């Protein structure tokens, strides 16, 4: 599995979901902070989005706005001041999940609505929130006229058609298309970061063939007894040059990232498999369950046994 697919695999939980949302003037809807990474796509009409730390942005047909960490935001007909202070619940302060289930029924005649949107969400495991996702801005806006990747546009059109028509197999189709949407959003952001010639961070690291080779080794063989020297060899660099370059790009040492990735793989295995902790420890390169448990607790603050017992699969 390639690096980006790996990162998506460890971070995602359960099935993504989406719904067609219609709005009639006047409207102003605030969405609370959420555990889900949400997105909105404007299919017809125009509206505005506001989020803490960002100027209000106008959304036109084909525009996409994405919130990697589920930040509070507001959708409105006209740009107005929005306060995001406090955590009070009001009639206009709901989550993106509630938006999908309630607003879809709000306009009986969809053709009379001023704005049609496709809204969706991905539930992410915060204990496995990869540094690449942490690096993304709180809000990403992809204007349709800015020439975003054609794959992203094609996925938007297919999603809208599936949600509208509701044919046999629609749930499977939407789930698969939303997986593609997430991938294409990440690809677009990485490409745009690369075009801005960033000198540090994940976009820069993935463009660096030597560091990318070391990362590919860690991801493909987490159980291998990697050292800085063997990772440097995989990157084709001296030990010292590799360690400096890795830390400069990613803000952590090779050993620290190796441990982080191993714990992410372990967390995914505890979520998605029935393996015993000893078997999981072996799969990520630990010679004993005790050594694995010590590393896991140091990173997450709880033992792997406690995490495993407390984990409930979405919908379970």
Domain boundaries, the chain: 3-195, 208-310
CA distances from 94 to 21, 68, 85, 185, 192 (A): 14, 18, 15, 24, 31
In the numeric block, the tokens 């006209």 are attached to 78
Convert the pLDDT of each residue in 84-137 to its tens digit. Answer: 765 444 434 455 555 554 444 444 455 556 888 888 888 888 878 899 999 999
> What kind of architecture, by CATH, is found in domain 208-310?
Orthogonal Bundle (1.10)
Per-residue pLDDT at 217 exceeds 90: yes
Per-residue pLDDT at 315 exceeds 50: no
End-to-end CA distance of the chain: 28
* pLDDT value of residue 31: 87
| Mean of the per-residue pLDDT values of the chain | 85
* pLDDT value of residue 92: 45
Q: What value does the mean pLDDT take over residues 72-81? A: 87
Convert the pLDDT of each residue in 169-183 to its tens digit. Answer: 988 898 889 889 899
Per-residue pLDDT at 185 exceeds 70: yes
* 3-state SS assignment for residue 285: coil
**Tokens encoding 125:** 């495991």
Q: Where are the beta strands (DSSP E) in 193-267?
A: none
* 3-state SS assignment for residue 75: strand
> Does a cis peptide bond (omega within 30 degrees of 0) precede residue 26?
yes
CA 148 – CA 188 distance, rounded (Å): 7
CA 105 – CA 99 distance, rounded (Å): 10
> What kind of architecture, by CATH, is found in domain 3-195?
Sandwich (2.60)
Convert the pLDDT of each residue in 230-263 to its tens digit. Answer: 999 999 999 999 999 999 999 999 999 999 999 9
Per-residue pLDDT at 314 exceeds 60: no
Sequence-distant (6+) residues with CB within 8 A of 243 are 228, 232, 253, 254
* pLDDT value of residue 106: 46
Convert the pLDDT of each residue in 37-47 to its tens digit. Answer: 999 988 889 99
């Amino acid at each position: 599995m390639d690096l980006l697919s790996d990162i998506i695999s460890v971070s995602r939980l359960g099935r993504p979901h989406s719904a067609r949302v219609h709005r009639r003037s006047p409207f102003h809807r605030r969405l609370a902070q959420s555990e889900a990474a949400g997105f909105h796509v404007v299919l017809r009409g125009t509206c505005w989005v506001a989020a803490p730390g960002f100027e209000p942005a106008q959304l036109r047909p084909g525009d996409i706005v994405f919130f990697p960490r589920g930040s509070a935001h507001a959708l409105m007909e006209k740009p107005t001041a929005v306060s995001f202070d406090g955590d009070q619940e009001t009639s206009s302060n709901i989550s993106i999940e509630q938006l999908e289930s309630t607003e879809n029924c709000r306009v009986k005649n969809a053709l009379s609505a001023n704005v049609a949107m496709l809204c969706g969400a991905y539930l992410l495991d915060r204990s496995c929130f990869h540094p690449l996702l942490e690096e993304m801005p709180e809000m990403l806006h992809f204007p349709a006229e800015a020439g975003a990747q054609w794959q992203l546009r094609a996925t938007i059109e297919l999603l809208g058609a599936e949600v509208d028509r509701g044919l046999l197999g629609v749930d499977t189709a939407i789930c698969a298309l939303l997986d593609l949407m997430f991938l294409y959003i990440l690809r677009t952001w990485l490409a745009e970061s690369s075009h801005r010639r960033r000198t540090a961070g994940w976009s820069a690291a993935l463009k660096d063939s030597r560091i990318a080779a070391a990362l590919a080794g860690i991801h493909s063989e987490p159980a291998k007894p990697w050292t800085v020297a063997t990772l440097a060899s995989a990157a084709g660099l001296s030990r010292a040059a590799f360690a400096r370059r890795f830390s400069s790009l990613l803000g952590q040492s090779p050993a620290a990232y190796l441990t982080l990735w191993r714990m992410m793989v372990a967390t995914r295995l505890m979520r998605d498999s029935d393996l015993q902790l000893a078997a999981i420890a072996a799969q990520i390169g630990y010679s004993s369950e005790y050594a694995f448990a010590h590393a896991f607790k140091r990173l997450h603050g709880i033992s792997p046994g406690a995490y495993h017992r407390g984990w409930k699969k979405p919908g379970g």
